[in-house]
Amino acid sequence: MVKVLSIVLNDFKNDSRVLKENISLQNAGYEVKVVALHEEGLKEFEEIQNITVHRIKLKSRTWSKNKAIQLVKYFEFCYRVITEYKNSDILHCNDLNTLPIGTIVKKFFNKNVKIVYDAHEYEINDKPDESKYRIKIKYFIEKKLIKYADAVLTVSDAIANEYAQLYRIPKPMLILNTPPYKSIDKKDIFRKVFNISQDKMIFLYQGGLSNGRGIEILLDTFKNNNDGKTLIVFMGSGPLEKDVIAASKEYKNIYFHKAVSSDVLLNYTCSADFGILFYENNCLNHYLCSPNKMFEYLMSEIPVIVSNLYEMKRLVEEKNIGVVAKYNTSDGLTEAIQKAIELDKIELNKNILKVKEIYNWEEQEKVLLKVYGEL
């Protein structure tokens, strides 16, 4: 049986893409294991939906968060993975920070190992307002290491095109961050939880409450447009959670709901009238991304409002499934909300039902298994 090791540099608590990929591979007959970082309160070894997980306990974990010490922790993680798992048949390297592990194994320990490089972001500019120096360093590393990959996967068509041009490699295979197909029985959870009347329209932001995702713009927009007809629910967690909770206490049209587990997520999502993705144009990753939240909204059969960024705009306009803001500002969002209210809901729903037949995990799984079958 072919042994596949999927490597992540996180604690593997909420990595839905990696979990779905490994379930698909295991069902197809591969022997899979995920290796991740151990964190306090988590098991070192466990099975998650029948997927074996090994969280590596670092001796350096409790050391300082100084940048130099963080590098020591990284090297310890790499050393442990290489020494314990160098005899794997396939190394599935998730994100740029794990690609060096696969490269070292292939070059020095196991020349027969196959490397799948799974770029979950536009890796060299994946954070808001990154310095040119940091981008250049990551570009240099990725350019040197990507040639050792036997297959390259990524998460949006625009990123795939960029990689092909940037590194002069065949266009990476596209595996979108889509949820499994699900027939939707519409719920009304938010109206029940928050006692929201039927005459009000619910706009939903779900996901990380962090900088660069337009959270501040969303808050400003609904603070200044308290028309009594529209409201927003934020569902998620992150650094800006306190700001959202504070606003929800002060404004009657702003609500906060804590994040929910993936197995019930779409029951909540479908309780909204529109889903909002208002990423800011402050890194190339945002400009080129196709976020998993977009496909969660569509699987839940709710139309979307998105900021004016390349890949999200292309999908929404091509499939006619919502509104693209003209400007990535509070005024631009206000105008987009007004347009959304006036859209033909029957036509929108028809379009969304067509789209969810294409953008689901069952379709993405076919691509993944094709890639592995050709290795």
pLDDT digits (tens, 9 = 90+) for 44-57: 999 999 999 999 99
Q: Mind listing the pLDDT tens digit for each residue in 195-246?
A: 999 999 999 999 999 999 999 999 999 999 877 899 999 999 999 999 999 9
Is pLDDT above 80 for 64? Answer: no
Is pLDDT above 90 for 36? Answer: yes
pLDDT at 331: 95
3-state helix, strand, coil in the chain (%, to 5): 45, 15, 35
d(CA 323, CA 310): 14
pLDDT at 209: 95
The label of the residue with tokens 């945002």 reads 286
How are beta strands 51-56 and 45-48 bridged, if at all? antiparallel
Exposed / middle / buried, residue 184 (Cβ in 10 Å: 0-12, 13-18, 19+): middle
CATH 3.40.50.2000 correct for 3-176+361-374: yes
The pLDDT > 90 percentage for the chain reads 89
Q: What is the rounded average pLDDT for all residues in the chain? A: 95
CA angle 322, 325, 327 (to 5 degrees): 170
pLDDT at 225: 84
CA angle 323, 172, 371 (to 5 degrees): 115
pLDDT at 67: 81
d(CA 18, CA 155): 12
pLDDT at 261: 85
Provide the 8-state DSSP code for 28: T
Q: Mind listing the pLDDT tens digit for each residue in 341-366?
A: 999 999 999 999 999 999 999 999 99
pLDDT at 104: 97
Q: Where are the domains of the chain?
A: 3-176+361-374, 189-358
Contact 177, 20 (CB under 8 A): no
At the topology level, CATH places domain 189-358 in: Rossmann fold (3.40.50)
d(CA 286, CA 349): 27
CA angle 326, 304, 282 (to 5 degrees): 50
pLDDT at 63: 85
Distance, first Cα to last Cα, the chain: 14
Q: Mind listing the pLDDT tens digit for each residue in 86-117?
A: 999 999 999 999 999 999 999 999 999 999 99
Is pLDDT above 90 for 263? Answer: no
Question: Quick one: average pLDDT of 76-80?
Answer: 96
Lowest mean pLDDT among 55-64, 159-168, 194-203: 55-64
Q: Is the dihedral of CA 359, 365, 368, 369 positive or negative?
A: negative
User: DSSP string of 46-99?
Assistant: EEETTEEEEEE--TTTTS---HHHHHHHHHHHHHHHHHHHTT-SEEEEESGGGH
Provide the 8-state DSSP code for 212: T
354-357: Cβ within 8 A, 24+ apart: 354/319, 355/298, 355/319, 355/321, 356/181, 356/298, 356/299, 356/301, 357/181
Question: What tokens appear for 126 in the block?
Answer: 């994946």
Structure confidence at residue 186 as a pLDDT band (50, 70, 90)? confident
**The domains spanning 3-176+361-374 and 189-358 adopt the same CATH topology:** yes
Contacts of residue 356, defined as CB under 8 A and 6 or more positions apart, other chains included, come to 181, 298, 299, 301
Question: Quick one: average pLDDT of 122-151?
Answer: 94
